[in-house]
Structure 1
């Protein structure tokens, strides 16, 4: 293969990345609008049905990755006007996705008082790990664009980064009257957007555009300005992600401390902790525990308080939670009792049931 052929191929690849719409831009954007609409419909229905497989299908259909990579390519080439137009287009598309999701839930007449599906809530807690995933996905997407022989990797890159599902989740949460969680879902999309642009810029520079990025003149200035703006945007996102990650760490640690405090409070009585969920930002906690009563409790006519072992009556569970969480928390406590017995079948031997966690460890 001679040098002219190599140069022509490189030019063809660069042109296809920069001018991804092809000769008929109007036709491309019509297809883009159709695919984006289908992706939002699939994602919204998948989130409402709590189906991860359907949500993944929406990721594969979503066409947002191409214009986002186009932003990176335009920045590297110093085409700030095109980069700005594409950024504005992506932002408008994102807003429309949120609006479409809200309308879909409204038309489906979903009751507002139902439990929000886990697939929706999973997109309301972005952290620094999501930034890392988005950076890697941006590298993969840009690499596939340059190396057409690796097109089989494109679905993996699309699944690796979440673009439409967070927007659909944001629309669903706005319908349910949860603006704070809707903001968190939108933050996840912003994280993915900024990270993909930055990492794709790095790939394009390494593979094709070093002379532009590190040369002289107006294009270099435009490229530098674009990278600075992107990094400033990402810095704001990282601050928000850092807060979320730190809050998550505090909540996880607090939940572990509360669980241990409940075990210490109940000891030696067997207690099963069903759920502990602490939200430090809203100062809310949900605690659900089941305490085993001795077998003879079933033969007593008494209040639940009277049936409890003496040690559990000395200090209330509310006092234990206040010591761990502090005053001001809204605590939802689901406290249940049950008869716990260990029976040797064929005999009259009836003993107190062993501790639930010790039994689980032995298994």
Structure 2
């Protein structure tokens, strides 16, 4: 191994420098700042602030240190760093919960989109994390490419999922908090595995493929990492499959509602299906005929006869099956088309036809 490679390897393995206490103090400070920024950014629903938290987060370095220690067969150091990262993750979750608690955010309000964005991990997140791990390890080895490190930090999400988990625990959304934690676990395992591959390719082939205790330690650590990732992938596979089912069901449900209303104009505002919980949330607006504006009657009496004969509830039951909890937000409006300057008043065209013309 050349002098330069030896120096680079030593810097990667001993990233704390000569004063470890000072490094870990800085680590604690930056981790706290990152958790605070991420939590406040999520509460304000600001993506820019959350990105700032990604840049401040110091977790990438010790995670890459775990990978480097595994490759070199230093299981004791790898285990110690893994404990530090796990402890830091728990602290981030608790800190986020505490910040929301101190802010006394009402539990009845809608959860911000920036929080919910971290509750739907899938296999695509695993691919992103693998690529980010390669980028981070590559930057460590090739110091001339250090400008790429912020991009790797933004590409993989470490502190924001932990903060989202803490916020969701405050809102008593345990299932969503677990999903946010799963996103962090996905990133953690994928970064370690892909960084190991980069270190092996660039500098550590002689260590990994040599005989002796180091090779045995490396093999054991990789097996543990793969087992962890296998568990994560199984969970991600379930989430991805559920999301596919939900997307397909939502599209079919929207078309079923249009078919039910036809030829009456209906505008579908929202269709949200949760296959795992067997819940559906539907928002739609039905255009009443012009004559309804001159009638004094119940809402049901104002509806077109075709919609009264075939209730929407029956249509939804046929599409989703029994056992679903469906919330329907149904709103009526008068749809009219007026030719200005004349007394010609007609029924308004279908909402979809107007959208297609525009």
TM over 0.5: yes
Query: Where in structure 2 are the equivalents of 1:178-193 lying within 5 Å?
Result: 178-193=173-188
| Superposed displacement of residue 347, structure 1 | 1.2
| Superposed displacement of residue 181, structure 1 | 0.6
Q: 1:53 aligns with which of 30, 48, 51?
A: 48
In the alignment, the residues of structure 1 paired with residue 204 and residue 338 of structure 2 have an alpha-carbon distance, to the nearest angstrom, of 76
- Name the counterpart of 1:142: 137
| Superposed displacement of residue 121, structure 1 | 0.5
- Name the counterpart of 1:3: none
Q: Any idea what SS the aligned residue of 2:231 has? A: helix
In the alignment, the residues of structure 2 paired with residue 358 and residue 211 of structure 1 have an alpha-carbon distance, to the nearest angstrom, of 68
Q: 1:238 aligns with which of 233, 238, 256?
A: 233
| Superposed displacement of residue 113, structure 1 | 1.1
Q: 2:167 aligns with which of 168, 172, 180?
A: 172
- Name the counterpart of 1:227: 222
The answer to whether the aligner puts 1:110 opposite 2:110 as a matched pair is no
Q: Any idea what SS the aligned residue of 1:327 has? A: coil
In the alignment, the residues of structure 2 paired with residue 177 and residue 264 of structure 1 have an alpha-carbon distance, to the nearest angstrom, of 38
TM-score, length-scaled by structure 2: 0.99
The answer to whether the aligner puts 1:345 opposite 2:340 as a matched pair is yes
Count the aligned residue pairs: 358
In the alignment, the residues of structure 2 paired with residue 72 and residue 217 of structure 1 have an alpha-carbon distance, to the nearest angstrom, of 19
Q: Any idea what SS the aligned residue of 2:2 has? A: helix
- Name the counterpart of 2:28: 33
Query: Where in structure 2 are the equivalents of 1:122-133 lying within 5 Å?
Result: 122-133=117-128
- Name the counterpart of 2:157: 162
Q: 2:274 aligns with which of 273, 279, 287?
A: 279
- Name the counterpart of 1:95: 90
| Superposed displacement of residue 251, structure 1 | 0.5
| Superposed displacement of residue 158, structure 1 | 0.1
CA deviations over 1:161-203 (Å, ceiling 9, x no partner): 0000000000000011111110000000000000000000000
CA deviations over 1:105-162 (Å, ceiling 9, x no partner): 1111111111100000010010000000000000000000000000110000000000
- Name the counterpart of 1:292: 287
Q: Any idea what SS the aligned residue of 1:336 has? A: strand
Gap runs ≥5 in structure 1: 1-5
Query: Where in structure 2 are the equivalents of 1:295-314 lying within 5 Å?
Result: 295-314=290-309
Give the RMSD, CA atoms, in angstroms.
Answer: 0.8
In the alignment, the residues of structure 2 paired with residue 187 and residue 237 of structure 1 have an alpha-carbon distance, to the nearest angstrom, of 7
Q: Any idea what SS the aligned residue of 2:277 has? A: coil
The answer to whether the aligner puts 1:251 opposite 2:276 as a matched pair is no
In the alignment, the residues of structure 1 paired with residue 350 and residue 205 of structure 2 have an alpha-carbon distance, to the nearest angstrom, of 65
- Name the counterpart of 1:264: 259
The answer to whether the aligner puts 1:68 opposite 2:79 as a matched pair is no
Moved over 6 A (4+): none
| Superposed displacement of residue 310, structure 1 | 1.0
| Superposed displacement of residue 276, structure 1 | 0.5
Q: Any idea what SS the aligned residue of 1:282 has? A: coil
- Name the counterpart of 2:190: 195
